[in-house]
Chain A
């Protein structure tokens, strides 16, 4: 049982009454640090260890499928990793973390507790089952068969001298990519924009009051609201490692894809925009400046939604360009990435709407279209038109062109 320390900040209460009446005094400039570094009493107040754990868990699941592609994937092992039961990870700190991906899949406050944005328990269970199905797909594809139309199996990309081994389900989708990209949406994106950056969570009666009065979570150096913000941050940057030796920084999941989108001149501010908004919002929370915080929430929600949109179009176009190689199989990795990023679009949150940029049914229609051919992706003659139609649909919604997304220049 926890008790909270109370630091009755009369200053904060005074500040509140001050902000509620209009004065001519310009508010003091918010001090925003150049890195995501915040201290209280000379000790860091930032903590996103739980998010880091989940990012590394998904990473480990992807790696497990990859490593065992030719020797047999055990779906039971993946189920255990998904729910973190029975010490399934090689990293003992993950096993002992008390965290798991399963119960945070499609479980945000906004979409799956308040059931805004079309969310429901039925959807939650369906998407969790979908991920579980990718484990079985990976297992079935790893039993030694060669991938072919209607046959789950292994695809060896000869152009990479066989170093690239991909498992395809019978419909040509790569279960590993559906898992990785789909989970980036159903877990990470959902938790970021529909949970930790949701005012329904951040402004829950005691959460807001406690932050204003700087009531810290028991035994911690942060308020609940500060921590919520850190958790959103952690789902993007939590598993980055900028201190590796030799000095090749590691970026994982959304952080990595933000960089990849940012590398294109057409979107070359998105990385800085998102990062600044996180730092500014965190500073605003500490300063009880909720208007500034809310402005940053809107920036983050808008910019982060762009990432799966741009990458989905990029991969659709990349896949389309490879359909002539290996009977089309060379394209399926990219198309599977696109498939997962399209899945992610369902978990975006358009500011002011309580809804994603694309509804669940719109997303489901796009996904169904991609795999609607005989034996799914293997019906390659139908794919170019489908890839273009979906690309245009996504690009139009977000106000960029297919060409802008397709070429990183």
Chain B
């Protein structure tokens, strides 16, 4: 059931925060300064980092498809991993051009459809801009193409060298890598030369479509849906009758699902703290905003609670196997425990933080009859 919750100013004033924190009518927090910190010190540098990694990925793909040796395959695999890690640091920021491009949908939908990818290759069909082809491209498709098309490196390499369809394999690989890079180029260009940075910062009101409202919604949604549900909940069988170990991120590489989640979680925490990309400096942030409003829950500042829940989540994920599919098959209860550890901040964000900041949730969590 999808719902659009309309913002009822008067109702929100009456019911937010159950009287425990200061009310927002004296809120003169520097939202514009916070948006500037987000844009200039976190989002744009993160996307620029991502752009350089996807550029290297495209170059390595070109090198490999031109000269398909084992050494070039190894180099390409390493580039893919670097770009995939960089992706984890921007996945929460699907605003502006990233939103228009459906960045996450096209770049990281998994599990991939192996049968569709194989059919595309056999047909020489490299047209990836169709909505129906979301699970035939992006990082998960490269995961399959670089690690899953054969049982070992030699047989994988053979697909690009001696196989009847070798030329088509190389062509498809190149198309996928190029599209990943093109998305990053478009997004960075829009933020920097396209004027989006200015528009983003200027939109510093409190309405549903304000940058603050949108970014916070994305932040919470990323944590709840992408970190908690997609990376852990779905494969661990939280929403299905059986576990689905092959639905983990990077299933074919297999040993990095934990690392990718940890990077995403760290990025989420860094964003909450307003930490600059690749620096220990912090600026205006959600944490600063909550502290400014003096939001307290159960005798503790909410930001302190949230940071302790981040730590609990890290600890719970820390004990997992580097390969989530292995973990699911050996002891899924640890995966479910990690889900619950992540859930703790979902509660803090949605029940405490969002109302305190007078933000309206604009994404759905299905809660039928």
Q: Is the CB of B2 within 8 A of A1?
A: yes
| Closest chain B residue, CB of each to CB of A208 | B15
Q: Which residue of B lies closest to A99 (CB)?
A: B369
In the complex, what residues of A have CB within 8 A of residue B339's CB? 121
In the complex, A114→B236 CA distance in Å? 19
**A79 to chain B: which residues have CB within 8 Å?**
241
Of A16, A49, A98, A115, which contacts B340 at CB under 8 A? A115
Main DSSP-derived SS at the B contact region? helix
Q: Are A209 and B337 within 8 A (Cβ)?
A: no
Q: Is the CB of A125 within 8 A of B336?
A: yes
Once A120-B337, A121-B336, A125-B332 are accepted as A-B contacts, the answer to whether A212 and B11 lie under 8 Å apart by CB is yes
Whether, in the assembled complex, B6 has its beta carbon less than 8 Å from a beta carbon of chain A, the answer is yes
Report the Cα distance A133→B119, complex, angstroms: 39
Establish whether residues A205 and B15, one from each chain, have CB atoms under 8 Å apart when the complex forms.
yes
B4 lies within 8 A of A205 (CB)? no
A231 at the interface (CB under 8 A from B): yes
* Residue pair B238, A125 in contact (C-beta under 8 Å): yes
A50 adjacent to B368 (CB under 8 Å): yes
A121 lies within 8 A of B12 (CB): no
Count, A-B residue pairs, CB within 8 A: 82
* Cβ-closest chain A residue relative to B243: A125
Known contacts A209-B11, A212-B11, A120 near B336 by CB under 8 Å? yes
- Cβ of B8 within 8 Å of any chain A Cβ, yes or no, is yes
In the assembled complex, B113 has its CB within 8 A of some CB on chain A: no
Report yes or no: A209 in contact with B12, Cβ–Cβ below 8 A.
yes
Measured CB to CB, the nearest residue on chain A to B241 is: A83
Compute how far the CA of A209 lies from the CA of B236 in the bound complex, rounded to whole angstroms. Answer: 36
Question: Does the CB pair A121–B11 fall under 8 Å?
Answer: no
How far does the Cβ of B132 sit from chain A's closest Cβ, in whole Å? 21
| Chain A 96-128: CB-based contact to B (< 8 A → 1; otherwise 0) | 001100110000000001110000111011001
Contact at A50–B369, with CB atoms within 8 Å? yes
B15 near A121 (CB under 8 angstroms)? no
Task: Check B337–A98 contact: CB distance below 8 A.
Answer: no
Residue among B10, B15, B238 having the largest count of chain A Cβ atoms under 10 Å:
B15
How many Å lie between the Cα of A16 and that of B351 in the bound state? Answer: 22
B297 to chain A, nearest CB (A): 13
Bound state CA distance, A218 and B1, in angstroms?
Answer: 11
Q: Is B16 an interface residue (CB 8 A)?
A: yes
User: Which residues in B have their C-beta under 8 angstroms from that of A83?
Assistant: 241
Known: A4-B6, A83-B241, A209-B12. A231 touches B340 (CB 8 A): no
A121-B337, A205-B355 in contact; A115/B343 too (CB < 8 A)? Answer: yes
What residues of A have a CB within 8 angstroms of the CB of B337 in the complex? 120-122
Contacts of B239 in A (CB 8 A): 103
CA distance A179 to B6 in the complex (A): 42
For window 211-242 of A, CB contacts with B under 8 Å fall at 212-213, 215, 218, 227, 231
Query: A2-B1, A124-B238 are known contacts; what are 7 more A-B pairs with Cβ within 8 Å?
Result: A4-B4, A13-B14, A132-B241, A209-B12, A213-B8, A218-B3, A231-B369
A-side residues, CB < 8 A to B, are: 1-4, 6, 13, 16, 49-51, 79, 82-83, 98-99, 102-103, 113-115, 120-122, 124-125, 128, 132, 200, 204-206, 208-210, 212-213, 215, 218, 227, 231
Closest 7 CB pairs of A and B: A209-B11, A50-B369, A121-B336, A122-B336, A122-B333, A1-B2, A209-B15
Give me 21 A-to-B residue pairs in the complex whose CB atoms sit less than 8 angstroms apart, sorted by A's number: A2-B1, A2-B4, A6-B6, A16-B14, A50-B369, A103-B239, A113-B347, A120-B336, A120-B340, A121-B236, A121-B336, A122-B333, A122-B336, A122-B340, A125-B238, A125-B336, A128-B241, A205-B15, A206-B5, A210-B8, A215-B8
Which residues of B are interface residues toward A (Cβ below 8 A)? Answer: 1-6, 8, 10-12, 14-16, 236-239, 241, 332-333, 336-337, 339-340, 343-344, 347, 351, 355, 368-369
